[in-house]
Structure 1
Amino acid sequence: MSGFKRGLALIACAGLVACGAGEPIRIGFIGGLSDRNSDVGQSGERGVQLAVERINRAGGINGRLVELVSRDDAQDPAVAARSAGELAAAGVEAVIGPFTSGMAAAILPVTAKAGILNISPTLTAMDYYGKDDNLVRINRTTRDNATDYARVMFARGQRRVAVAYDTRNLKFTESWLAEFRQAYAAAGGRLAGEVPYHSQPDADFAGVVRAMLKEHPDGLFFISGAIDVARLAKEARAQAPGLPIGASEWAATEQLLDLGGHMVDGLLIVLNFDGDDESPRFVEFREAYYRRFQRDPGYSSISAYDAATVLFEALRRRRGDEPVKAAVLNYGPYQGLQQRIAFDANGDTQRKVFFNEIRDGRFRPLAVDPR
């Protein structure tokens, strides 16, 4: 189903729920729901859907039900800009998304022109940090994550790491690489290769790994989405089976486990949630998510659910014609599924992360402190 038709279907379903409840509050969603690396957007959409269904069962926001208007950015700037325009035309109060830095550059100018706030569950690139604009983020930055990775990898004995990075999401991958390069050098390590490639089905992943191995590194690291990391890990296991591998947080989805199989065993990766959390709030969410979608939640769905929680509470508490961003900043901090969410004046926040190693098809938390 196309992104446009998918959005109409969601509107129709939400409209049936809202019959007789007065004018609904329209909330937009935009993310990659098709093409490569769509697992992040699809997971995020599921998290928002669950949040909308829950708040509507509880009576909505100040007596008004919530209607979700969903659009696909297809990981294509032209499609992303057009989809953002469709959300603006639909009269949404705010948009949850985008989910990748590459698409943010196309989406944010369109929504800014319409006076619409974006709440991104996953953006981390430094280009979107420290700015008073139409964006707030439910995530830390590439600087935070890359610095923690550098410290942990150096502490685990890696001194010369080769990196591959996907140019298709260049704003994120270049930002991540620049921060990692600096932090790794500060820790005492050095990069033994930086290999760019463009993500596509027929990409030469064997060639990428060969290029990474030219300078005889003691570890390989991938700044890529889950589909590519699974294929890069397979090549790494074939060409250098004993070498440690790791991947940036972008790849930390269930798809990595499904596609990677035993080839990703031992891979180091960070999650922005605690998968072993047994608190009542998180267990209830995890079980509800599984019942609704027949799969476990991941970092994107959890962050998107938190983004919806923030937005719904801000809309509930805002006064009169108070701008949505002002309401979001004025009425925090907010209680997320696992962490309290507090924004600074620019709409930036911090988030605790958890280093994991993949073992036996699962993310297994590591007892490491990057500080």
Structure 2
Amino acid sequence: MFGMITQVCVPRGDETNASSVQIGALVPLTRPGWVEAGQHLLAGLELAVGEVNEAGGIAGRPLELVVRDTAADPQRAAAAVEELAALGVAALAGEYHSVVARAAAARADALGLPFLCSSAVIDALTEEPTERVARLAPAQSHGWQVYADFLLGAGHSRIAVAAEPSVYWASGARILRDYLAPCGGTVVELDMRALAPTAVCDELVDNRATVLLLLIGFPEPAVSIVKSVRRDRRLAEITIGAPAGQPEFPEWAELLGEDSVAIPFLRYLPERLSPLGVRVETALRERLAKSPSFVAFEGYDTITVLADVLRSHGPDRARIAGSWPGVAVEGMRGQIRFCRTPGISVWQWAWAPVQVVDRDPAELGRFRILHTG
């Protein structure tokens, strides 16, 4: 049975007895889900809900977030969508893990429940084109091609990927291979089901790789692999990369210390935050008691969009689903509009800003922007 977390922020004024408008939220809050990512996503969702209600809610009705923990389990997510639909939520929001978001999107689409996906990037979020699902995060093919451009610009052509079996990781490896091959780049896959972290070092030497990309789970085996590579003198010049964004979160630096730096990853932020972005960052930092990740900003923008849609179209699911092409909302990372993008089956914001960044060796808590796309 799912533990239920709800937030009800009642607006000021005489409408405190009005029934709420409910949004279902899917977030990973327990292992094996990436708990820290789920906490950041939820913090952004909750902050925006509170601000909506302080401003009067939705036509005087409070906005309520009804949260379900997916724990990175697709079946659990699909069951949560069923439950939330039966509870009468107007729309669905959230989710970080791509494989989980796919299961949620498929079930939401079948039930006629509009879903605004916050953070999952896999291109094939649904098997067939749908009008009901929209997404804020850049598609994997877009973001990872930006990352491939960064690798080529840095002079890398022999890339090794430490990979685990997953639709998401396999998709990422394919994107890199297809994009790098015409430019003379090669991608060698190391199957982490068969290799211990120390054996990865031997494979990197044998393949003369100049880059190792971590297409694997966190904290393990990612932490053990980074430590092994950093301590192998033969690999002193190799670049470790993590396009999926593992180094974004404070836990990365806490577990790896000095080994956490100079590992380029993707994040979805502009070079400079707008005044709105600065205000939201400050509020999120207070809420989380640590620096907010871009995932927290994705959560905030998700509610910003849904609140705008609800104010204009009400809580009717069909009208919400039909509203995606007309959205024009100023989020904290730019104006959000949805369109149909080739190869993407859902309404897509094309595109949130994309950066390749790493943690600064001179200061663990500071990020250096290495490339933008």
The sequence identity of aligned pairs, in percent, is 23
Aligned residues: 357
Query: Which residue does the alignment assign to 1:316?
Result: 311
* Corresponding residue of 1:365: 368
Counterpart residue number, 1:66: 63
Question: In 1, distance between residues paired with 2:172 and 2:29?
Answer: 24
RMSD value, Cα? 2.6
Q: How does 1:1-371 map to 2 (within 5 A)?
A: 4-5=2-3, 7=4, 9-10=5-6, 13-14=8-9, 20-36=16-32, 37-128=34-125, 131-167=129-165, 170-191=166-187, 193-197=188-192, 204-228=196-220, 229-239=222-232, 240-251=235-246, 252-274=248-270, 277-318=272-313, 321=316, 323-330=319-326, 332-345=327-340, 346-349=346-349, 350-359=351-360, 360-369=363-372
Cα distance in 2 for partners of 1:225, 1:40 equals 13
Moved more, 219-228 or 332-341: 219-228
Give the deviation of 1:63 after TM superposition: 0.7
- Report the residue type matching 2:208 in the other structure: H
Residue 189 to residue 133, structure 1, CA distance change in 2 (3 Å): same
Bigger shift: 49-58 or 244-253?
244-253
* Equivalent AA in structure 1 for residue 348 of structure 2: D
SS in 1 for 2:190: strand
Q: Classify the secondary structure of the residue corresponding to 1:323.
A: helix
Alignment deviations for residues 336-357 of structure 1 (CA, whole Å, 9 cap, x no partner): 1021111014411212111212
8 A Cα contact 2:94 2:302, kept in partner? no
2:343 matched residue in structure 1: none
- For 1:320 and 1:120, how far apart are their aligned partners in 2? 18
Paired amino acid for 1:291: E
1:225 Cα deviation (Å)? 4.5
Distance 1:205 1:97, change over 3 A: farther
SS of alignment partner, residue 16 of structure 2: coil
Distance verdict in 2 for CA 1:323–1:150, change over 3 Å = same
Displacement of 1:14 after TM fit? 4.9
Deviates most, 219-228 or 23-32: 219-228
- Unmatched segments (≥5 aa) in structure 2: 341-345
How far residue 237 of structure 1 moved from its aligned partner, in angstroms, is 0.5
Contact 1:26 1:68 in 2 (8 A): yes
The residue type paired with residue 142 of structure 1 is Q
TM-score by length of 2: 0.87
What is the CA–CA distance in structure 1 between the aligned matches of 2:219 and 2:15, rounded to whole Å? 41
- Cα deviation digits, residues 117-167 of structure 1 (max 9, x gap): 111111221212782243211021111122111111121121211001232
Q: Which moved more, 1:68-77 or 1:314-323?
A: 314-323
- State the TM-score, normalizing by the size of structure 1: 0.88
- Contact 2:157-2:210 within 8 A present in 1 as well: yes
Distance change in 2, residues 1:366/1:250 (3 Å) = closer
1:195–1:212 CA contact under 8 A, matched in 2: no
The answer (yes or no) to whether the contact 2:132–2:322 under 8 Å persists in 1 is: no
> CA 1:136 to 1:311, structure 2 compared with 1: closer, same or farther past 3 Å?
same
Give the superposition deviation at 1:255: 2.4
Choose 14-23 or 296-305, whichever is displaced more.
14-23
CA distance in 2, matches of 1:335, 1:273: 14
Structure with the greater relative contact order (CA < 8 A, sep ≥ 6): 1 or 2?
A: 2
Distance 2:205 2:76 in 1: 37
